[in-house]
Structure 1
């Protein structure tokens, strides 16, 4: 008899345990409050990297001169030679003939200017020298006197050799501008010895004559 009662108690207790697991909690489930999202800070704007500006043109310092098809430094094709000469402070100017003048300065190459028949309008301009001339003009691509042929070709991909229509111990390479004028490089032993701004794609045989 005691065994039967014990069995009944186990059944009853077991049933209560099972029911208690299914009975909903008397407390309402609490909806978790949303976690505030962390504010994403906008990345700090980077300071723009300043591009170094080229040195301003100084007519008395050839190292500030840029060579291009339009001219070299202050000596531009089509300009008045008289007006240009007035800017060349400290330069030694020499009249070679009615159609040509030259000028130079200490530690600088020599610049040759070809003039039109009026004796004043600049027709072409050339700078001649080598890498030992510390104050030397250079092109916008950085090619100056003393540059090698490899450096010239790297600065101006696709540049081709010009045909010089007279016997010469130099070679010439030229870059055409949109208006049909030329930035010309004359080389000896694959080294740039002259840079010119001209209507022709090769250096002149002579400026006088």
Structure 2
């Protein structure tokens, strides 16, 4: 004996047969009894219990099913796990030495604490108005003696025919020169006076890489592998060579004295070939 409840067409036929039987029995009486309502209710409940409520002659409406929860597809990107390492990962470009752009603190009275950068040397800075650096420079330097005529009239305030040259002199032959153009400092030079060619040892201001007056050509090349020679031969009455490094549109130029292979002058300006005789 099959104990499984009817489904599909069998269920439909059973329901129709039961309904017809009920109606046939109720027809002679011409009235609806309470029993008929009960039977119909039983039929409806049987249909609900058998077919889940959706098949029983449409007696009970079906509520819409909730949308399924979204699930990650096979193509979803996997979550990324960051594992800390002992050192950060950085790019590894070929190092290119460049001049120091920001000078550290210094003492105006001690030029050995000054830094040579693309901005100038110590308190002498490119782009400053003529005279704006005077107060700081006076801490360790004095203006070069003026050149006067027989009547005592000052011909050249800084002892130089080039009126755009502002020369400052310190102890031991130290010299700082500012060359102005249109009232603005466009070139800064440091050198030693009273020396034959160049100092025998490094002294005075240095670049961030540690080279300056008295540095050897080998030290200069080691500090700046991209160093470019910009002048060689008899120029301005000297056989010195000049070597330059660039920083943007500015240059730091090292003049190397002929015969001793040491730096005798450092110039910061907008040209890789600065003038040799700045007083002419």
Unaligned runs of 5+ in 1: 1-53
Deviations 1:40-77 (A, max 9, x none): xxxxxxxxxxxxxx973111110111012221111111
Q: Match of 2:213? A: 145
Q: Aligned ranges for residues 51-66 of structure 1 at < 5 Å?
A: 56-66=105-115
Equivalent pair of 2:244/2:272 in contact (CA under 8 Å): yes
For 1:150 and 1:113, how far apart are their aligned partners in 2? 28
Structure 2 residue 170 is the aligned partner of structure 1 residue 105: yes
In structure 2, the CA distance between the partners of 1:135 and 1:171, relative to structure 1 (3 Å rule), is: closer
Q: Aligned ranges for residues 49-88 of structure 1 at < 5 Å?
A: 56-88=105-137
* Secondary structure class of the residue paired with 1:83: coil
Equivalent pair of 2:114/2:206 in contact (CA under 8 Å): yes
Normalising by structure 2, report the TM-score: 0.50
Deviations 1:69-102 (A, max 9, x none): 2211111111123120111224121212420011
Equivalent pair of 2:204/2:212 in contact (CA under 8 Å): yes
Q: Match of 2:54? A: none
Equivalent pair of 1:61/1:135 in contact (CA under 8 Å): no
* Secondary structure class of the residue paired with 1:154: helix
Displacement after TM superposition at 1:117 (Å): 3.3
In structure 2, the CA distance between the partners of 1:79 and 1:164, relative to structure 1 (3 Å rule), is: farther
For 1:155 and 1:208, how far apart are their aligned partners in 2? 31
Matching residue within 74, 84, 91 for 2:141: 91
For 1:85 and 1:135, how far apart are their aligned partners in 2? 23
* Secondary structure class of the residue paired with 2:252: strand
In structure 2, the CA distance between the partners of 1:150 and 1:134, relative to structure 1 (3 Å rule), is: closer
Q: Match of 1:128? A: 191
- Larger RCO (CA within 8 A; separation ≥ 6): 1
Q: Match of 1:198? A: 269
CA RMSD of aligned residues (A): 2.3
Displacement after TM superposition at 1:163 (Å): 3.0
* Secondary structure class of the residue paired with 2:132: helix
Displacement after TM superposition at 1:205 (Å): 3.2
* Secondary structure class of the residue paired with 1:194: strand
Unaligned runs of 5+ in 2: 1-102, 145-157, 193-197
Aligned residues: 153
Structure 2 residue 237 is the aligned partner of structure 1 residue 174: no
Which structure has the bigger radius of gyration? 2
For 1:74 and 1:116, how far apart are their aligned partners in 2? 18
Normalising by structure 1, report the TM-score: 0.66
* Secondary structure class of the residue paired with 1:114: strand
For 2:202 and 2:243, how far apart are their aligned partners in 1? 23
